Homo-oligomer: A and B are copies of this chain.
Amino acid sequence: MTESRYAEAGVDIDAKAAALSRAREAIRSTFTAGVIGDVGGFGGLFRPDFSAYREPVLVASTDGVGTKLKVAAAAGRHDTCGADLVNHCVNDILVQGARPLFFLDYVAAGRLEPDVLEAVIAGVARGCRENGTALIGGETAEMPGVYAPGDYDVAGTIVGVVDRERILDGSRIVAGDLALGLASAGLHTNGYSLARKIFFDELGLQPGDRAPGLRGTIADALLAPHLSYLRALEPLLAQGLVHGMAHITGGGFYDNIPRVLPEGLDVVIRSGSWEVLPVFEAIARLGKVSFEEMHRVFNMGIGMVVFISPADLQRVAAAWTESGWRWFAIGNVKAGGRRRVVIEQASA
């Protein structure tokens, strides 16, 4: 064999192949009935079973995990961001009523450390398994010079399906509907640039440090997983109980809720009606972030807002309580509005 000029330039094809080979079993563990073939083809093959659908519509979404990755890497935890990514994507198509079919990931770095790559893919595979989603493809890219040493990025694409007549676009939301909030576990995957700036740059803390008001370390608080709400919503969607949903991601309450509100309606959210997680209280206090910006950047403890009829509250409450979901009645839909979100501050 000739000496590899390509490896010299920073791309070690063999090391990458070895890591991918180890990750192969994790990938196979996600395979559902629709998957055709094995890991390693040019493109992933998926034979959808649309027999239960009158008019199947594919729903697709791409996302990343943002700078949560920086916190995870600094804490040496490379196996959690993959599940964060999958859960984020599952929620993004869930709000349109879709259930996931398959997923593809993209991992890029200056130089891919095989152990890190394996841990990242294992995390993606775990997220896929937990959501019944097949991991049918992916790309690992080595881009020396684009990423700083030790840094990497992870993105993913989900494809799901919904029957056309069951697509949720918010048009079923009516005045008088209740806004229920499903609890988040933390920041999920949004607001990390600001959180990192406050904890690490301004306060000079390390991921392993403790901050006033937080139970564990800062890394523990910031790396809490992005929850998937698929299992909480699937049964309600099947019964047609959901009028609309908003996944509280980048842009917080103010940007995400109006995306599903019909003309002429407002949503009034009652601050104080749910438990704001300690990490958000710490960020607001230590970083001197305003009430409004906190609700524009962070989920504040509410990962998914679900609009239902008051008549269905008991059924929904029973289903969620029985299956152990934490939820709160956080607001109401009002007529005569202009697709605004009004957050009423609780009096102290």
Contacts and interface: CB of A to CB of B under 8 A. Distances in A.
Interface string A20-64: 000000000000000011001111111110000001111111111
5 contacts: A58-B159, A61-B137, A62-B106, A64-B139, A64-B143
Given A5-B293, A287-B5, A43 B70 contact: no
Interface of A: 2, 4-6, 8-11, 13, 36-37, 40-48, 55-64, 66-67, 69-70, 92-93, 95-96, 98, 101-102, 104-106, 108, 136-139, 141-148, 151, 153, 155, 157-160, 164, 167, 169, 191, 193-194, 196-197, 247, 250-251, 259, 287-290, 292-293, 296-297
B289 A42 contact: no
A155 B64 CA distance: 11
A273 to B, nearest CB: 23
A290 to B, nearest CB: 4
Contacts of A287: 5
B41 A9 contact: no
A52 to B, nearest CB: 15
Nearest to A60: B44
Given A146-B70, A147-B146, A151-B146, A106 B64 contact: yes
Given A9-B197, A148-B146, A141 B45 contact: no
Given A6-B194, A106-B106, A147-B146, A61 B45 contact: no
Contact of A6 (B56, B58, B155, B297): B297
Contact of A93 (B40, B42, B57): B42
B144 A67 contact: yes
Contacts of A56: 47-48
Given A42-B259, A148-B146, A60 B155 contact: no
The 9 closest A-B pairs by CB, nearest first: A157-B157, A43-B61, A62-B104, A2-B290, A43-B93, A9-B197, A43-B59, A9-B193, A106-B155
Contacts of A153: 108, 141, 143, 146, 153
B55 A47 contact: yes
Contact of A96 (B13, B42, B69, B147): B42
A193 to B, nearest CB: 4
A197 B7 CA distance: 11
Given A48-B58, A58-B159, A139 B63 contact: yes
Contacts of A293: 2, 4-6
A203 to B, nearest CB: 14
